[in-house]
Structure 1
């Protein structure tokens, strides 16, 4: 079959003429190969052509490379965003666990301190938990989860691990109301542990302050003195820590000194409390028997009533 060129004419025509042209082409190719082998001319030509074509190839393929880089960067950024979100979530969970552990540790420390206080007091104590707080700003009272069915009684002292909180004001079957040391209507007999001076500590309405308004001017009381319950009145067991004096001032009349003390108990933040009672103090007198009616002597029972003596 004859081979045709692009113009339609056969590239190698049949006959001797076509064979001669084929041989001529082969000879030229062999000559070029020999020249390239000896001189490297074609190699240099290829290098020159590559130097010209390479920038064009770089420009032509730049959009593809940019698109690929953008896709990779986008995928990497998406992966980093997801990984960052996951790490943030894990961090929040870990922080929540740490916070919970810290709260549990704090509760354990507080309960351990309450247990130590119980052992030191040597009194009848009962654990109670705070369940509500009176929102009235003029009354400092709380509600605890122990009531009459648990043996709680009105007037029972309430403490935390550090000192006196207040006393039971009202008792229901399963809960009780406690009036706090800082309530303006509350007062507790105390004594200065250093000197034995007996005074009355009044609530000021401030959880961080109790007042001693009528201290004799000549009394030995100073900043840093510890106030403990005196036991006078039989309401509080003696020796319960109450407050520390932080200010002593002279009254205008120069007859009395006015002292202020800071409660030792965490009045504003205690949640676990101890109800403290001394069996001797907790006993209440039996009610007096009803008076029995005694009528007039039998002989006078039927007589007319006597006239009043003028």
Structure 2
């Protein structure tokens, strides 16, 4: 039995021969392909067949490269998003500032236009902040006594009256708005000239016309302007517009609700009207005595003249004289005429003596007081020694 090696280890041609053969074969193929271009189709077929294997071999490398690109792109995108958000916020702020400046410029232009049409001098001002008291309607401006601001000056905007200066400091001033409960302004209806007084209603932002007659000619939509009767607000400034008219019972006062025309809660720039209208002089002071007399008479009712009371009837003087003579005769004494005249005068009342006419004046013939002097007339004759008449005669 002959021994032979397994087929795997079976040796063929020598390795050098194999290398030489394959090298020559390769050179021949290269020459043929370069000169004759006969292997182009073979190469394309081989590339097509080997392409899947090539892609499968490159997948690990491509996966690692794509993973690095993925994470780097995510970080870049996040950074870009942050930058865009910050730019968006900055652009939004810039846009808001631009809108605010545009609105402020428009308001300033309107104020300048209104300032040119005002008949009195005015100056621009800006609201710094609202008053601290929440129950009042007040704002603080950036103008004070150093700028010529005084108490009572009106404050307006391009649409109408805003309020009145109620406190003044060196650098600032406090303005009470028109809608404050303690604020009032004399107004008149632009349509018919009806005068009234508008009062603020507080936080509601409206105005009231109080004590209006039920039949007053006021309609919804009427415009109210300043009447100028107070000497503070110039006449003709727009104040409010009537939005509600309530009819009440006969004999009671009506209620009129108005909406201010000015931007009381909207604008920040205002005009302070430097109105220098001279007030009428005060009347001269009365003397102290006359003032006290007038004060004492104010509370007294009006007194009508009271007629004098009628005098009671008195007996005539001749009847008294004989009675006195009889009494003297009974006593055996002569009664002088002067005493008789005194008795007759004693019986005349004091009122008759007051109303008696003077010497030489004509004597009236009517009334008891007029008859008394005639009855006493014989007394002077008796005093001169004239004979006394007797009863028998």
Shorter-chain TM-score tier: 0.7 to 0.9
- 1:94 deviates by 2.8
Partner of 1:136: 133
Cα contact 1:140–1:180 (8 A) shared by 2: yes
Q: 2:75 aligns with which of 68, 73, 78?
A: 78
Of 199, 214, 217 in structure 2, the residue corresponding to residue 202 of structure 1 is 199
CA deviations on 1:131-178 (whole Å, 9 max, x unpaired) are 221132211111112222222111111111211111111122222111
Q: Secondary structure at the match of 1:214?
A: strand
Tell me the CA shift for residue 104 of structure 1: 1.6
Could you say if the C-alpha distance between residues 74 and 252 of structure 1 is closer, same or farther in structure 2, counting changes exceeding 3 Å? farther
Alpha carbons of structure 1 residues 10 and 138: separation in structure 2 relative to 1, 3 Å: same
Aligned to 2:296: none
Matches within 5 A, 1:40-119: 47=45, 51=49, 54-119=51-116
When the two structures are superposed, what TM-score results if normalisation uses the length of structure 2? 0.59
1:49-97 residue CA offsets vs partner (Å, 9 max, x unmatched): 973x543432332222122223223333333333333333333333322
Larger relative contact order, structure 1 or 2 (CA cutoff 8 Å, min sep 6): 1
| Rg larger in structure | 2
How far residue 254 of structure 1 moved from its aligned partner, in angstroms, is 5.8
Distance 1:72 1:253, change over 3 A: farther
Q: Does 1:251 align with 2:245?
A: no
Distance 2:112 2:157 in 1: 10
Gaps of 5+ in 1: 1-6, 13-20, 292-310
The structure carrying a bigger strand percent of its residues is 1
Is the alpha carbon distance of 1:260 and 1:23 closer, same or farther for their aligned partners in structure 2, counting shifts above 3 Å?
A: closer
Following superposition, the deviation at residue 117 of structure 1 comes to 1.1
Any stretches of 5+ residues in structure 2 without a counterpart? Answer: 1-10, 288-393
Q: Of residues 246, 266, 269 in structure 2, which corresponds to 1:269?
A: 266
Kindly indicate which of the two structures has a greater share of residues assigned to helix: 2
In the alignment, what sits opposite 1:172?
169
Of 230, 235, 246, the match for 2:232: 235
Residue 45 of structure 1, CA deviation: 10
Match of 2:179 among 158, 165, 182: 182
Q: Are residues 1:151 and 2:152 paired?
A: no
**May I ask how many residue pairs the two structures share in their alignment?**
270
Alpha-carbon spacing, 1:147–1:59, altered in 2? closer, same or farther (3 Å): same
Task: Name the counterpart of 1:127.
Answer: 124
* Structure 1 residue matching 2:81: 3-state secondary structure: helix
Q: Deviations over 1:9-60 (max 9, x none)?
A: 9855xxxxxxxx5899479949x969x999x89x869946973x54343233
Q: What residue is the counterpart of 2:216 in the other structure?
A: 219
Under a length normalisation based on structure 1, what TM-score does the superposition of the two structures give?
Answer: 0.74
Structure 2: distance between partners of 1:216 and 1:178 = 31
Name the counterpart of 2:364: none
Q: Secondary structure at the match of 1:279?
A: coil
Q: Distance in 2 between matches of 1:23 and 1:280?
A: 126
Identify if the C-alpha distance between structure 1 residues 27 and 190 changes in structure 2 by more than 3 Å, giving closer, same or farther: closer
Structure 1 residue 277 displacement after superposition: 3.5
Q: The residue matched to 2:54 in structure 1 has which SS?
A: helix
Structure 2 CA distance for partners of 1:50 and 1:155, relative to 1, 3 Å: closer
User: RMSD of aligned C-alpha atoms?
Assistant: 3.7
